[in-house]
Amino acid sequence: MVRRNNKYEPEVELPPRGPVEALVYWRDPKKSGAVFGGIMVVLLSLTFYSFISVFANLSLLALCATFGFRIYKTVQQAIQKTSDGHPFKEILEVDLTLPADKVRSTSEIAVTHINALVSELRRLFLVEDFIDSVKFGVGLWMLTYVGSWFNGMTLIILGVVALFTLPKVYETNKVQIDQNIELVAGKFNEITAKVRAAIPIGKKAEEKKEQ
């Protein structure tokens, strides 16, 4: 039972999710914390050092850890006279080859999205719809300020923080957030409709087509 709004309601079982969704929704706090912490360490390191330095140092650290663990297990097996074999045997036997069908399907999906993006950008830049192009221009203008406030790495760090926080916040406060989003979307659509009605651009062309 879960207490909500001073009432006890039956707990709803969460649907199964993929590994990425399980991480960002913090289904296993230890795994999510480890992944989130590791990504943040790498990104914060990249803000002070070059990518090559970060990659080389982290790889060297990982190699020293696995090398030391391998020596420790080998000595332990020699002392205890056991035949456990290679300590990383299970990992070494994991098939890391990419299935051709999945690669092909992923490539097709990526090409579809790229084509859709190119078509949408062409439509916006060539002002097929006046209102949509104006909204696109406002978004680009806002990005100029974002670019002056943050660099690319800072935006990536903020994106990772948002990825590991916003989904859980939304899941916890879904009802309230949906209500506010619907309210804002309704007001925005109302303003957009008024602007479209007030701007005559495009109306004459549509009237000629109808005639």
Q: What is the mean pLDDT of each run of 10 residues along the chain (211 residues)?
A: 48 58 89 92 89 91 94 89 84 85 90 95 91 90 86 88 91 90 88 77 50 52
Token pair for residue 154?
């800072």
DSSP 8-state code for residue 197: H
Q: Which helix (H) or strand (E) holds 115?
A: helix 100-125
Q: What is the pLDDT of residue 130?
A: 86
Q: What is the dihedral of CA 70, 74, 77, 81, to 10 degrees?
A: 160
**CA dist 84 to 49, 64, 68, 73, Å?**
41, 22, 17, 9
Say what the pLDDT of residue 121 is: 94
pLDDT at 192: 80
pLDDT of residue 201: 55
> Beta strand 7-9 with 2-4: parallel, antiparallel or unpaired?
antiparallel
pTM more than 0.85: no
Residue count of the chain: 211
Count of beta carbons in the 10 Å neighbourhood of residue 25: 16
